[in-house]
């Protein structure tokens, strides 16, 4: 069960998929938000400080790709919990995502169970940090 106070940011240039993930997370009790552009996502992170951020690696027409969004978020808050989501199985992207501190690297297509399981695991990490 999720902590209703946890905020989750979904970053994906596929608006339909971002909306799908946002709605699933809201149904599970998370305060979920979405951005379809990397620059907007970083700005949202700066102002709102979501607890968990799901980031698509390939943000299409965005000025920033997902790995750069991850890097910038981690520069703002090194303890930020980020989950990478992608169709790309590029080893370099996986390596950089891990180097920058991504908690998970999920491959599309995703179903609701994959999304919820990854976010619930991230929520457990947050709860452990708060208890320490």
Left if phi > 0, otherwise alpha if psi is -120 to 50, otherwise beta: which for 107? beta
* Residue-wise pLDDT tens digits, 20-51: 999 999 999 999 999 999 999 999 999 999 99
Per the structure block, which two tokens stand in for 57? 């690696």
pLDDT of res. 40: 97
Higher pLDDT, 94 or 78: 78
Residue 128 has a CB neighbour count (10 Å cut-off) of: 9
Higher pLDDT, 60 or 78: 78
pLDDT of res. 1: 44
* Residue-wise pLDDT tens digits, 102-129: 999 998 888 999 999 999 999 999 999 9
How far does Cα 56 stand from its chain's mean position?
8
Give the H/E segment covering residue 9.
Answer: strand 7-11
């Amino acid at each position: 069960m999720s902590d209703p106070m946890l905020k989750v940011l979904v970053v994906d240039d596929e608006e339909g998929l971002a909306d799908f993930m946002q709605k699933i997370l809201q149904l599970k009790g998370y305060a979920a938000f979405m951005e379809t552009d990397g620059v907007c996502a970083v700005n949202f992170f700066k102002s709102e400080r979501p607890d968990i951020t799901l980031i698509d690696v390939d943000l299409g027409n965005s000025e920033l790709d997902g790995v750069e969004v991850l890097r910038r978020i981690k520069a703002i808050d090194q303890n930020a919990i980020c989950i990478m989501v992608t169709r790309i199985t590029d080893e370099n992207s996986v390596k950089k995502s891990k180097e920058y501190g991504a908690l998970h690297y999920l491959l599309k297509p995703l179903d609701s169970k994959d999304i919820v399981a990854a976010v619930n695991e991230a929520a457990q990490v947050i709860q452990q940090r708060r208890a320490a």
